[in-house]
Amino acid sequence: MALESINPATGELIERFDEWSAAQTAEVVDKTQAAWLTWRGTGFVERATLMKKAAGILRDNADTYARTMALEMGKPIVEGRAEINKCAACCDYYAGHAEAILADEVIGSDARKSYVAHRPLGVVLAVMPWNFPFWQVFRFAAPALMAGNAGLLKHSSNVPRCALQIEEVFIQAGFPADIFRTLMIGSGKVDAVIEHPAVKAVTLTGSDIAGRKVAAKAGQMLKKAVLELGGSDPFVVLADADLDEAAVVAAKARCISSGQSCIAAKRFIVEAPVYDAFLQKFTAAVAALKVGDPLDETTQVGAQARDDLMQELHAQVELSIKKGAKAVLGGAPLTGKGSFYPPTILVDVVPGMPAYDEELFGPVASVIRAKDANDALFIANDTPFGLGGSVWTRDVVKGEAFAAQIEAGAVFVNGMVKSDPRLPFGGVKISGFGRELSHHGIKEFVNIQTVWIK
């Protein structure tokens, strides 16, 4: 199988890579294990120096990397630059905080001295998606490397150039050879990598289907796993919300990364007294978004990453409409070259429709009427997903109380759900388990070791 980079805005092949054989893959894993045996003995100052260099390389080459994302998976180039700068900020955060986070914790006991140490686990496999092709990787790689681990990246097969550029960042920054390697393999070879004795843990960001497969193999091998999976985030608008602000943020929250984001707001749950007013403002804000060439600086919604994914999205929209939903905006792929799906708003969405029950991974919003705040909370939690959510109200005390009842890994009051290196990120229910980022994330892949001295 070849790994192909295809421009989704034009359908043209950019480049093709031959998939590695099992022997080639195993050889690289062995080399990474050998590199880790030395790397684990380095100090935090040395690691931080290299990580800060990586941050500088990212910033210096932001235009180049943003262009690669635009060409390989259709991300608007303005968003691509912001993604690269966020990666750099993540590198800086862990360069500056890892030593303190992982410092020994002295604990009194019956020993002369006893403490908890945080030792690196070893080689960690990261199976990463295409939708944030740099950010998803760096939010794993920065803490993992600062903790003294080594990294293997199995990136999505449609962004091979992004994967290679990420590897090159660490090489240029001066990290040891083979301490972070990209594996040029398809999903069919992931199990063999997890089975490799050198691989001590695995993290995956992707669909719940992919997560189940990786978790099953990791469980079979008794290896640690962290999963960040899909989401169908509720965006709850209570009757006392600032509708102008909520509508503008809602449009951005639904269409960031051309709607292809796990933590994008997807279900817009609105109290009945303000439903019509919010829908009008929201529709206007979404309709104003510019769809176009991802390389155009003014584009706000680019191409969908692959044509097959766009067709799956459209099938969900069509079935929802067949079951009674109505499209008040958009609702069909754009004609012409490329995999472009316009921002779409569906109303009259009820249980039993894909627009209610499933994750719509593209710029399609489901607007759902709630009788009151209690009904809105029920609808927000009436999903197997639990990644993020937000609630909008002028009464922040009420908003905080409402947020406490939303079954999700992150809840924002009067704000758009986002990830931040300072805060833990992850989900509940079928949105996964474990956490990335903050001090919680860096501790996912360490041996929390008790040391007791008589």
Domain boundaries, the chain: 2-229+429-453, 233-413
pLDDT of res. 237: 99
pLDDT of res. 331: 98
Pairwise CA distance, residues 86 & 100, whole Å? 22
pLDDT of res. 1: 73
Q: Looking at the domain that runs over 2-229+429-453, which CATH code has it been given? A: 3.40.605.10
User: How do the pLDDT tens digits run along the chain, 454 residues long?
Assistant: 789 999 999 999 999 999 999 999 999 999 999 999 999 999 999 999 999 999 999 999 999 999 999 999 999 999 999 999 999 999 999 999 999 999 999 999 999 999 999 999 999 999 999 999 999 999 999 999 999 999 999 999 999 999 999 999 999 999 999 999 999 999 999 999 999 999 999 999 999 999 999 999 999 999 999 999 999 999 999 999 999 999 999 999 999 999 999 999 999 999 999 999 999 999 999 999 999 999 999 999 999 999 999 999 999 999 999 999 999 999 999 999 999 999 999 999 999 999 999 999 999 999 999 999 999 999 999 999 999 999 999 999 999 999 999 999 999 999 999 999 999 999 999 999 999 999 999 999 999 999 999 9
Choosing from 228, 271, 407, 444, the catalytic residue is 228
> How many of the other CB atoms lie within 10 Å of CB of 4?
14
pLDDT of res. 240: 98
Q: Is 87 a catalytic residue?
A: no
The CA distances from residue 65 to 5, 54, 58, 95, 229, in Å, are 15, 13, 8, 22, 25
pLDDT of res. 201: 98
The CATH superfamily of 233-413 is Aldehyde Dehydrogenase; Chain A, domain 2 (3.40.309.10)
Choosing from 262, 271, 358, 359, the catalytic residue is 262
Q: Is 46 a catalytic residue?
A: no
Contacts (Cβ under 8 Å, ≥6 apart) of 342: 291, 301, 329, 330, 332, 333, 334, 363
